[in-house]
A and B are shown apart, each in its own frame.
Chain A
């Protein structure tokens, strides 16, 4: 019996040869190749996903499709939010496809893993999708940039704005995993540093669909603000249930995307304040980009999409200015040149890889204020970049000389 099983060995060889026939041709060392590694099928597909591929292609087209006399090509892949798949794909891109830069990188675990790989292989990685501050602290890289936002800046913008209105006592609902803990920790520090009080925190499993007991606890704490240190489906569920309970306290989302507002609907979400790095309603320039993107993708861009466009453009400009695709030279140019486009005014990449640019405090419009399906937000305040992000001195990036 054992013998029979093994007769397959010669067949295994044949299968291997068949596999080889299906392996795509390897790219030459010439030309610039950009990879978009994103979530195309899971939780973050709306927020990043195919929209990021479209944004990167737009940037390449707008740049003219060529740099240093050679064509710019784009590859993309779905990492399914799994770091092992993401890293294997990125490794292959670097090793055999000659990919010079990887963009998007939604999901913190994938982003951290690929940024580490980029540092090892000396390739540039630009994170737009993931918000973990670990990327510019413990895990920072000389070849990595975190571009669109991070959890610190978003939590800080929202917390500061609410404290200014006198909403100074907080109760947190926290998703019980590393991301929730980081978000709650950042927000709680900001609240106490500005003279506010944290009355308590309750942890809920990730993901959850029933928030009733946590909301009751938050309600009975008497805090003026209920801070939601969670994201995506947890966030929208908690908000909906808080509305159904008729909770009067202010609900503050610490990580909110335009796609969440779309999911909640203006009726439920109206009046909510949060911080974002981009929304098309800000000014004529952001609107112009939004409309151009809409024409291609039939949805308005999220801040991740806008970040992918802007950072890809910045990268290509740097290649052109440096007159080489050498990653060290390009990275230096990227750091030395400020970004001035629809996304950022005078934006700069810091030593720890943090791209510092203005953030925006926005409020969700009421259904009466909204003129169209995509008209959701109004600008309350602009938070200057140097106040929005974690100061370099407080960071833990080993690359920063203190």
Chain B
């Protein structure tokens, strides 16, 4: 960390400016605003939701070393509770998003208090088992519509003036821009929260716990408590991602809560680069785009995605962003 400022100071001015966090966030925002011009807007919003989901998962896996195999439960709970609040209780979209997020956070408290003392495969198995309980509860609960899913969730209005349903034309591109902006801002805010958390003393303590838990404990860090709150934060952000996806597509279904979704988010994170801030988002973009672009090929989608995963594991073990960082690091030395 200490060597970094000197290093950047030696670089040309433009590169130094580009490296500034505020500039970086601004560039990300610009990239986000440009996205609907390049890919189909609804797909773009779905990508953003999954980017947040994968980043929430990565907060746990990449920085706490905990592989949760039950994150679909938070994603699905967020989606269903958003749908319930928006459709049955007629809440506005923001209040409904808050409902979905809080419900997932509450579920995170339950999961966390049961699972957090376990590590490695046991942690994965406990979270998977709990997620399956949630899945079957969602199959049977009267308000979820079982395997038909919850359909026709209204998008509504924000502050009574921004219509999330309607489409607007900006620079010749017609898209539900209000909705898109909301999703983009929430997605970036989620990422900013993760970045802030990791840069804080808690983030440093978290990394200490991940590197050497026994030593961190001997230094007086309350490892279980730190991990617990990171787990709850991760659950809440996953819930927000699920709720946003339900807002975008207007439906919540069992796909969101099924164990395959837990697997998919692991895949996104690994392909993008575990333990990097933007890696999971890149992985999520890549995989969602692939799913979308290959949908016309029929049965070959699963085969192709499997093959890509095998190639990534064999050739890019650090994931896309991880490899790129390693390559940049090697080039600079």
- Residues of A whose CB lies within 8 Å of any CB of B are 1-13, 15-17, 19-20, 22-23, 40-41, 45, 49-50, 75-80, 82-85, 87-89, 91-92, 95-96, 108-109, 112-113, 116-117, 132, 134, 139, 176-179, 181
Contacts and interface: CB of A to CB of B under 8 A. Distances in A.
Contact of B277 (A2, A16, A22): A2
Contacts of B296: 75-78
Given A17-B38, A40-B298, A84-B256, A134 B27 contact: no
B152 A41 contact: no
Nearest to B291: A85
B87 interface: no
A2 B199 contact: yes
Nearest to A179: B147
A335 B21 CA distance: 61
B255 A84 contact: yes
Contacts of B28: 6, 9, 12
B282 A5 contact: no
A333 B274 CA distance: 57
Interface stretch (B39-47, B94-102, B111-119): B39-47
Interface string B235-264: 000000000010001110111100000000
Contacts of B4: 1, 3
Contact of A177 (B147, B151, B245, B328): B147
B198 interface: yes
Contacts of A116: 151-152, 250
B42 A41 contact: no
Contact of B148 (A1, A17, A109): A109
A109 B298 contact: no
28 contacts: A2-B195, A5-B321, A6-B21, A6-B24, A7-B19, A7-B24, A8-B321, A9-B24, A12-B278, A13-B27, A15-B285, A16-B34, A16-B38, A20-B38, A78-B298, A84-B245, A89-B295, A109-B147, A109-B149, A109-B253, A112-B148, A112-B149, A113-B250, A117-B250, A132-B148, A177-B139, A177-B146, A178-B148
Contacts of B1: 1
A19 B199 CA distance: 32
A13 B149 contact: no
Nearest to A4: B325
A19 B147 contact: no
Interface in B10-59: 18-19, 21, 24-25, 27-28, 30-31, 34-35, 37-40, 42-43, 46
B8 interface: yes
B34 A78 contact: no
A177 to B, nearest CB: 5
A19 B39 contact: yes
Given A6-B24, A7-B18, A78-B301, A16 B249 contact: no
Contact of B324 (A2, A11, A50): A11
A193 B285 CA distance: 55
A12 B282 contact: yes
Contacts of B37: 20
Interface in B55-78: none
A88 B43 contact: yes
A112 B46 CA distance: 20
Given A16-B34, A109-B148, A112-B149, 14 more contacts: A1-B1, A7-B19, A12-B278, A13-B31, A15-B285, A22-B293, A41-B298, A78-B298, A88-B43, A88-B46, A95-B42, A109-B254, A132-B148, A178-B145
Given A6-B278, A134-B148, A80 B301 contact: yes
Contact of A83 (B253, B278, B293): B253
The dominant DSSP class at the A interface is helix
B27 A139 contact: no
B225 interface: no
The dominant DSSP class at the B interface is helix
Contacts of A41: 298-299, 301-302
Given A3-B4, A82-B255, A109-B253, A92 B42 contact: yes
A87 B251 contact: yes
A117 to B, nearest CB: 8
Contact of B328 (A7, A9, A87): A7
A17 B285 CA distance: 13
Given A3-B4, A108-B147, A178-B145, A113 B298 contact: no
A7 B292 CA distance: 27
B297 interface: yes
B21 A3 contact: yes
Contacts of B285: 15
Nearest to A119: B152
Contacts of B40: 23, 92, 95-96
A386 to B, nearest CB: 27
A163 to B, nearest CB: 29
A34 to B, nearest CB: 14
A8 B324 contact: yes
B276 interface: yes
Contact of A19 (B38, B299, B302): B38
B91 interface: no
Closest 6 pairs (CB-CB, A-B)? A178-B146, A40-B298, A6-B24, A41-B299, A20-B38, A5-B277
B320 to A, nearest CB: 9
B289 interface: yes
A4 B43 CA distance: 28
Contacts of B250: 87, 113, 116-117
Contacts of A108: 147-148
B158 to A, nearest CB: 19
Given A2-B277, A19-B38, A178-B146, A10 B27 contact: yes
A16 B31 contact: yes
A112 B291 contact: no
* Most chain B beta-carbon neighbours within 10 Å: one of A75, A139, A178: A178
Contact of A2 (B8, B21, B289): B21
B299 A9 contact: no
A3 B328 contact: no
Contacts of A134: 148
B259 to A, nearest CB: 14
Contact of B43 (A80, A92, A177): A92
A272 B1 CA distance: 74
A22 B43 CA distance: 14
* Most chain B beta-carbon neighbours within 10 Å: one of A9, A17, A87: A9
A13 B278 CA distance: 13
B281 to A, nearest CB: 9
